[in-house]
């Protein structure tokens, strides 16, 4: 046909109408065949589509499309986040030891120190308190801790997503960190196994360990471990240590307000400690009480009662004289049982009633007169006839100074050492009625004087001791020999090294108050050694005894006749001599005063048939007091303590003061001791020394002037009784004085 020519081309023509359709002419409609018609129908169909449809599709479906895209990307990011977290967990978990090797580390061992009646003196060790079972604690303690630290503790699996989310929201809204998201289990895991550093690795490991704890232990076991190990400030770990530190009571006995204060400390133990900031601690306790009410643990009435209680005022340090005893115990333990590897119970010889009374007496005496007399410190030690320490005060206030002046400080005892000189003289045959001449004495280049610089002429040894005459003590020490005085002092209980010279008569060798007091005890108990000791028994928590002292059968160290004579002489110190302020009503007592150069130290050591007690007053820096002698503040404090210690007891006399008189035959004290079977080694110079030979330092004339009775002993040293117009002093005397 003419219309279908082989060279004819059909060109599409694009118009500018809004439908972007195709334009064809009539010839194309006739001869274009199916292809053109189809294109025309397609363009027509596009023109019939609704307007704007493609624009809506181009915008992604509006709000719902955006939501779909967000949901999609959240899923994608969540999957990748889970993969990332899982990778971190696997990585940090792989750096930890195998879970099969995980074990709860042992709690550091605690040493519970008990008085004779079973009351607790102190807990010592890294924690400062023993571990308690959950049912032993005051029920308010776990309630308060759960309410403020982990309300969902009994419901979560070690990690609390809800609690974490709540904490994050609270912190975001407040603009600061006010809540933590860690559970009690996580805190326990951190305390048991991890360092306190804040790193991603530590946090991941904390979560893994918390899950392990929850799998292996019950909730109550986890809570018990937490409460017995968590830090409460002021070096107190665990609720028992904290309760005793802040309230001076056991965690078994704390009330609601105290439990709230303990729980409040967990947020910031050091900052909120009632020892540091009691107001802040009390404010935090109020917050804890509110949390407990919200959780239904307590009622409004209970809160009102708790708030009406007087806030606790904790001292800045462990306070109380009994802690000097605790320190003494801890110093001695390693030498008795070696390294402390488990919980121990130490039974001591301390009577807490006497301990508290001793502390009160020392504090009251210093408060009343210490300031005006420039006496800042004091110490007291009281022991029984076996050497058991019944009370010990190492200083004015343990909270201010933990140095134990009773057992660790060594000072000159002054004239309190003279009883050992007199006892040594009695052992070589002198008697209380032996006469010596109180007059200026020259021993080599030394001329000792009496405290009052007066001389009394002829006096008996009993009078000389009662009035603490230095000249007579100096004569006796040279008659006996300084080395033999030292031996006797060591035999009776002095452990410190002493110099065997003439000046030892006036107590120039330093000793501790405890050893000096224990060396007086043989005068009290009839002549037996009284080794000072404070530990009776050491046992484990399950009752296994590791140590028990063996001081029940002490050796005899002094002849009963000598004891009798010494007691008769030292009773006169209190009745007629320098220790009158120490006299006790109804009780027979004996003792000796002591004062050192320039009134630096003042002591009184005395005893009844029940107790031997030593008291010291002075200053740590060695400064002089204002004319304080052993017969002053020490005698007064000794009196006040001993009156309280003997209240309610039936009075009994001292050994050898009622109807027992010493008998000396030609063999002297040694023969009498052996004849009586008192257990001495016959002829042993360690027990009963012979008179020393005369040397160039001291000339003794053994001839007697006419009229002097036989048995009065050898003549006093040369130089005694020389007429002098003035009192002679030497440089040595300036270093020595008697009380």
Report the alpha-carbon distance of residue 643 to residue 179 in Å, rounded.
58
pLDDT in tens, 213-266: 998 999 999 999 999 999 998 888 999 999 999 998 999 999 999 999 999 999
Mean pLDDT lowest among 85-94, 158-167, 593-602: 85-94
pLDDT in tens, 508-518: 999 999 999 99
Q: How far is CA 513 from CA 189, 466, 531, 617, 653, in A?
A: 49, 21, 13, 11, 25
Evaluated on CA atoms 60, 63, 67, 73, the torsion sign reads positive
| Local confidence band at 669 (pLDDT 50, 70, 90 cut-offs) | very low
Report the alpha-carbon distance of residue 617 to residue 513 in Å, rounded.
11
Q: What pLDDT is recorded for position 204?
A: 78
Q: Which one is predicted more confidently, 79 or 156?
A: 156
Nearest to 377 by CA among 659, 601, 552, 569: 601
Stretch 486-506: mean pLDDT: 95
Q: What pLDDT is recorded for position 676?
A: 32
User: Can you state the angle between helices 300-308 and 256-265, rounded to 10 degrees?
Assistant: 80
Tokens describing residue 310: 């007087």
Residue of 182, 415, 434, 509 marked active site: 415
Stretch 607-620: mean pLDDT: 97
How buried is residue 584: exposed, middle or buried, by Cβ count under 10 Å (0-12/13-18/19+)?
A: middle
- Examine the pLDDT at 696 and tell me if it is beyond 50: no
pLDDT in tens, 102-148: 778 888 899 999 999 999 999 998 888 889 999 999 999 999 999 99
Map residue 44 onto helix, strand or coil.
helix
Residue of 130, 149, 479, 588 marked active site: 149
Stretch 350-359: mean pLDDT: 98
Percent of the chain residues past pLDDT 70, beyond the cut: 75
| Local confidence band at 307 (pLDDT 50, 70, 90 cut-offs) | confident
Mean pLDDT lowest among 59-73, 421-435, 556-570: 59-73
Q: What pLDDT is recorded for position 162?
A: 76
Tokens describing residue 259: 């439990």
pLDDT in tens, 721-736: 223 333 333 333 333 3
Stretch 37-42: mean pLDDT: 48
Strands in 377-383's sheet, in edge-to-edge order, are 389-393, 377-383, 612-618, 601-607, 590-595
**How many CA atoms are closer than 13 Å to the CA of 107, on its beta-carbon side?**
22
Looking up tokens 């609720």, which residue turns up? 239
Report the alpha-carbon distance of residue 429 to residue 289 in Å, rounded.
78
Provide the pairing of β-strand 389-393 with 410-411: unpaired
Q: What pLDDT is recorded for position 93?
A: 60
- Examine the pLDDT at 91 and tell me if it is beyond 90: no
Stretch 511-535: mean pLDDT: 97
pLDDT in tens, 425-459: 999 999 999 999 999 988 888 889 898 889 999 99
How high is the mean pLDDT of the chain?
81
In this prediction the pTM is 0.74
Q: What pLDDT is recorded for position 709?
A: 37
Q: What pLDDT is recorded for position 678?
A: 32
Tokens describing residue 680: 């001495």
Q: What pLDDT is recorded for position 486?
A: 97
Backbone Cα Rg of the chain: 46
Looking up tokens 């040279």, which residue turns up? 478
Q: Give yes or no for a contact between 578 and 418, defined as CB atoms under 8 angstroms apart.
A: no
- Examine the pLDDT at 596 and tell me if it is beyond 90: yes
Q: What pLDDT is recorded for position 103?
A: 76
- Examine the pLDDT at 715 and tell me if it is beyond 80: no
Tokens describing residue 128: 């400062």
- Examine the pLDDT at 626 and tell me if it is beyond 70: yes
Q: What pLDDT is recorded for position 452?
A: 86
Is 415 an annotated catalytic residue? Answer: yes
Q: What pLDDT is recorded for position 657?
A: 85
Stretch 412-419: mean pLDDT: 97
pLDDT in tens, 158-187: 888 776 666 666 656 666 555 556 899 999
Q: Which one is predicted more confidently, 446 or 701?
A: 446
Q: How many helices (H) and strands (E) does the chain have?
A: 24, 16
CA 656 distance to own-chain centroid? 42
């Amino acid at each position: 046909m003419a219309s279908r020519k082989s060279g004819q081309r059909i060109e599409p023509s694009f118009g500018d109408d809004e439908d972007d359709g195709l334009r064809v002419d009539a010839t194309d409609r006739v001869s274009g065949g199916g292809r053109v018609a189809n294109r025309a129908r397609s363009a027509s169909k596009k023109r019939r589509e609704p307007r704007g449809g493609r624009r809506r599709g181009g915008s992604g479906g509006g709000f719902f499309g955006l939501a779909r895209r967000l949901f999609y990307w959240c899923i994608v990011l969540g999957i990748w986040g889970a993969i990332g977290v899982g990778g971190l967990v696997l990585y940090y978990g792989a750096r930890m030891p195998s879970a099969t090797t995980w074990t709860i580390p042992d709690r550091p061992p605690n040493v519970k120190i008990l008085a004779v009646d079973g009351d607790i003196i102190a807990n010592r060790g890294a924690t400062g308190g023993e571990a308690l079972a959950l049912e032993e604690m005051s029920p308010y303690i776990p309630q308060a801790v759960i309410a403020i630290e982990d309300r969902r503790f009994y419901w979560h699996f070690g990690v609390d997503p809800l609690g974490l989310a709540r904490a994050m929201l609270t912190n975001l809204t407040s603009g600061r960190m006010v809540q933590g998201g860690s559970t009690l289990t996580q805190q326990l895991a951190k305390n048991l196994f991890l360092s306190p550093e804040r790193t991603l690795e530590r946090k991941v490991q904390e979560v893994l360990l918390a899950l392990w704890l929850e799998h292996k232990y019950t909730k109550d076991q986890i809570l018990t471990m937490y409460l017995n190990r968590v830090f409460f400030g002021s070096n107190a770990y665990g609720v028992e240590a904290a309760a005793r530190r802040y309230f001076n009571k056991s965690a078994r006995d704390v009330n609601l307000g105290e439990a709230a204060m303990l729980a409040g400390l967990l947020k910031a133990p050091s900052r909120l400690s009632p020892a540091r900031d009691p107001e802040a601690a009390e404010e935090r306790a109020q917050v804890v009480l509110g949390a407990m009410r919200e959780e239904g643990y307590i009622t409004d009435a209970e809160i009102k009662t708790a708030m009406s209680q007087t806030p606790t005022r904790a001292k800045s340090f462990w306070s109380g004289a009994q802690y000097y005893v605790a320190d003494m115990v801890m110093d001695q333990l390693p030498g008795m049982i070696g390294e402390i590897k488990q919980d121990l119970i130490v039974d001591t010889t301390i009577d807490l009633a006497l301990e508290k009374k001793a502390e009160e007496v020392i504090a009251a005496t210093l408060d009343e007169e210490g300031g005006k007399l420039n006496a800042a410190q004091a110490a007291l030690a009281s022991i029984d006839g076996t050497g058991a320490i019944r009370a010990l005060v190492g200083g004015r206030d343990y909270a201010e100074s933990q140095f134990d002046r009773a057992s660790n400080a060594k000072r000159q005892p002054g004239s309190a050492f003279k009883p050992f000189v007199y006892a040594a003289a009695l052992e070589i045959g002198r008697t209380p009625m032996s006469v010596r001449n109180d007059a200026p004495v020259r021993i080599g280049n030394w001329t000792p004087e009496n405290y009052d610089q007066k001389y009394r002429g002829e006096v008996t040894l009993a009078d000389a001791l009662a009035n603490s005459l230095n000249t007579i003590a100096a004569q006796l020490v040279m008659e006996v020999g300084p080395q033999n005085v030292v031996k006797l002092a060591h035999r009776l209980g002095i452990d410190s090294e002493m110099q065997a010279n003439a000046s030892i008569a006036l107590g120039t060798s330093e000793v501790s108050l405890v050893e000096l007091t224990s060396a007086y005890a043989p005068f009290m108990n009839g002549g037996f050694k009284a080794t000072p000791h404070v530990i009776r028994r050491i046992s484990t928590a399950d009752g296994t005894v590791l140590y028990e002292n063996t001081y029940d059968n002490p050796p005899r160290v002094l002849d009963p006749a000598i004891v009798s004579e010494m007691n008769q002489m030292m009773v006169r110190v209190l009745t007629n001599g320098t220790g009158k302020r120490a006299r006790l009503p109804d009780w027979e007592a004996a003792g000796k005063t002591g004062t050192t150069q320039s009134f630096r130290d003042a002591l009184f050591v005395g005893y009844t048939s029940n107790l031997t007690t030593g008291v010291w007053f002075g200053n740590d820096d060695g400064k002089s007091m204002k004319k304080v002698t052993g017969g002053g503040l020490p005698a007064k404090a000794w009196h006040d303590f001993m009156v309280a210690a003997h209240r309610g007891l039936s009075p009994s006399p001292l050994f050898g003061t009622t109807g027992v008189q010493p008998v000396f035959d030609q063999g002297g004290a040694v023969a009498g001791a052996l004849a009586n079977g008192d257990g001495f080694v016959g002829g042993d110079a360690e027990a009963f020394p012979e008179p020393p030979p005369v040397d160039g330092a001291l000339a003794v004339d053994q001839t007697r002037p006419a009229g002097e009775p036989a048995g009065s002993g050898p003549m006093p040293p040369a130089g005694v009784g020389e007429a002098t117009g003035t009192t002679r002093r030497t440089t040595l005397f300036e270093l020595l004085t008697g009380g």
